[in-house]
């Protein structure tokens, strides 16, 4: 096994009501003025106002950027950065799910390093740590609140840029399940399947370690036991808290073992058709793992066990097939669309989607490296 580094924020707050204590802790860090990066809905429902008020009570001023789009764009990053610079903010708070966190990382990275967010596409391109970022999470989840992954859509090229950079790691993450009870069913299902995808891709990754394996398997078990309840009974604090832990663990796994072709391909669908990330992942996950089963059936058999299967007497290949079947069943139970056709994906776009998927940094650690024909075949199978 080669040498490993394990990245995550230095401080990670978890549990019901932890937003309160996190704001007290932020005040102790000595910051004066926050740029709060969020979206219009969270601003309208008053969540942003309540955080700004609590910051004010601690003597911290704040300015709000609520223009983050569901797939945040270079334009969103530029608009947030302008506000930060005009108001002399000395740190950034992201409030929301993966979109505000990723947008905030883009703002904080360019604020510290200069240039344009497009300059930082790829792995560890930036020279300096970003502006200090506190990520308050409201979904479960992308785990963007703990990761060094920042996905920004270049609206001119219609591609999602994968910025994988240790300098985008937030200073502090905050996961308060009380903020997650407001998530509608569809968002709970999509973000939960995103977390499952993180865990599975990290577990079969070529750079998985015993540390990331442990995080991934526990995440899969928690998702098995709690995702359906969180979708169907959104007020269940027990299920919400378990899913908050699941997505955190899955994030710890993929932040360090990276991902695979599900994400590399889903990023293209998201960038090209502006589709929800979690839904794209959920649809692609079983198909990419069927492909991966050619090279890592035992790893996928472990996934089947974590998903609750009894694989006694099965071969590794049969165990892997069981994992694929259980992923499809879970998706169906929480009303994830069955195929890409339902999402409006067109076969004529496969060449572009395939070409860009092969350039995405997330594919580098997929257990089997694919040809363009193979990627296209996976897209076709997922229709």
Query: Which residue's CB is nearer to Fe ion, number 145 or number 194?
Result: 194
Is residue 194 close enough to count as binding Fe ion by CB under 5 A?
Answer: yes
Q: Residue 334 is encoded by which pair of tokens?
A: 């929480």
Inter-CA distances, 365 with 54, 148, 192, 212, 292, Å: 42, 16, 22, 14, 12
Minimum Å gap between C-beta 147 and Fe ion is 9
From residue 137 to residue 176, the character string flagging contacts with Fe ion as x (rule: CB under 5 A) and all else as - is ----------------------------------------
Nearer to Fe ion, 194 or 360 (CB): 194
Closest alpha carbon to 96 in 131, 58, 145, 61: 145
Q: Which residue is nearest to Fe ion (CB)?
A: 194
- Closest CB to Fe ion among residues 231, 321: 231
> How many whole angstroms separate alpha carbon 335 and alpha carbon 357?
26
201 binds Fe ion (CB under 5 A): no
Name the token pair of 370.
């694919």
Nearer to Fe ion, 345 or 362 (CB): 362
**Binding segment for Fe ion among 53-61, 156-164, 193-201, 318-326 (CB under 5 A)?**
193-201
Q: Tokens for 339, please give them.
A: 């195929």
Which one of 3-11, 173-181, 191-199, 362-370 is the stretch in contact with Fe ion (CB under 5 A)? 191-199
In whole angstroms, how close is the CB of 262 to Fe ion at the nearest point? 8
Which residue, 195 or 306, has its beta carbon nearer to Fe ion? 195
Question: How many residues bind Fe ion, per CB under 5 A?
Answer: 1
Q: Closer CB to Fe ion, residue 102 or residue 194?
A: 194
Give the CA distances from residue 136 to residues 91, 141, 177, 194, 356, in Å, rounded to whole numbers and listed in that order: 14, 12, 11, 18, 31
DSSP states of 292-347 as a string? HTTT-HHHHHHHHHHTT---TT--HHHHHHHHHHHHHHHHHHTT--SSSGGGT--G
- Is 253:196 a contact under the CB 8 Å cutoff? no
Q: Which residues bind Fe ion (CB under 5 A)?
A: 194
């Amino acid at each position: 096994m080669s040498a490993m580094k394990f990245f995550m924020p230095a401080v990670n707050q978890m549990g019901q009501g932890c937003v309160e204590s996190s704001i007290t802790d932020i005040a102790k860090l000595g910051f004066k003025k926050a740029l709060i990066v969020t979206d219009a809905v969270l601003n309208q429902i008053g969540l942003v106002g309540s955080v700004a008020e609590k910051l004010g009570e601690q003597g911290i001023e704040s300015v709000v950027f609520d223009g983050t789009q569901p797939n945040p764009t270079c334009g969103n990053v530029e608009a947030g950065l302008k506000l930060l610079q005009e108001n002399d903010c000395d740190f950034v708070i992201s409030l929301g799910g993966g979109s505000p966190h990723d947008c905030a990382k883009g703002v904080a990275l360019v604020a510290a390093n200069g240039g344009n967010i497009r300059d930082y596409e790829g792995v560890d391109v930036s020279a300096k740590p970003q502006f200090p970022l506190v990520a308050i999470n409201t979904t479960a989840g992308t785990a963007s609140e703990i990761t060094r992954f920042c996905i920004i859509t270049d609206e001119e090229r219609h591609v999602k840029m994968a910025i994988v950079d240790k300098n985008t790691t937030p200073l502090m993450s905050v996961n308060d399940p009380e903020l997650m009870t407001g998530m509608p069913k569809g968002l709970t299902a999509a973000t939960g399947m995103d977390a499952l995808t993180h865990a599975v891709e990290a577990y079969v990754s070529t750079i998985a370690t015993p540390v990331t394996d442990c995080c991934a398997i526990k995440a899969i078990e928690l998702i098995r036991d709690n995702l359906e309840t969180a979708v169907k009974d959104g007020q269940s604090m027990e299920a919400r808290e378990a899913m908050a832990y699941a997505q955190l663990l899955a994030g710890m796994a993929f932040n360090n073992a990276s991902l695979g072709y599900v994400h590399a391909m889903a990023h293209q669908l998201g960038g090209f058709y502006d589709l929800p990330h979690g839904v794209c992942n959920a649809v692609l996950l079983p198909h990419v793992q069927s492909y991966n089963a050619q090279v890592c059936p035992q790893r996928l058999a472990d996934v089947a066990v974590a998903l609750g299967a009894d694989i006694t007497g099965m071969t590794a290949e049969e165990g892997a097939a069981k994992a694929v079947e259980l992923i499809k069943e879970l998706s169906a139970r929480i009303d994830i669309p069955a195929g890409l056709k339902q999402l409006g994906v067109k076969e004529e776009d496969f060449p572009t989607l395939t070409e860009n998927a092969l350039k995405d940094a997330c594919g580098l650690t997929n257990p089997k490296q694919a040809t363009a024909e193979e990627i296209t075949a996976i897209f076709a199978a997922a229709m």
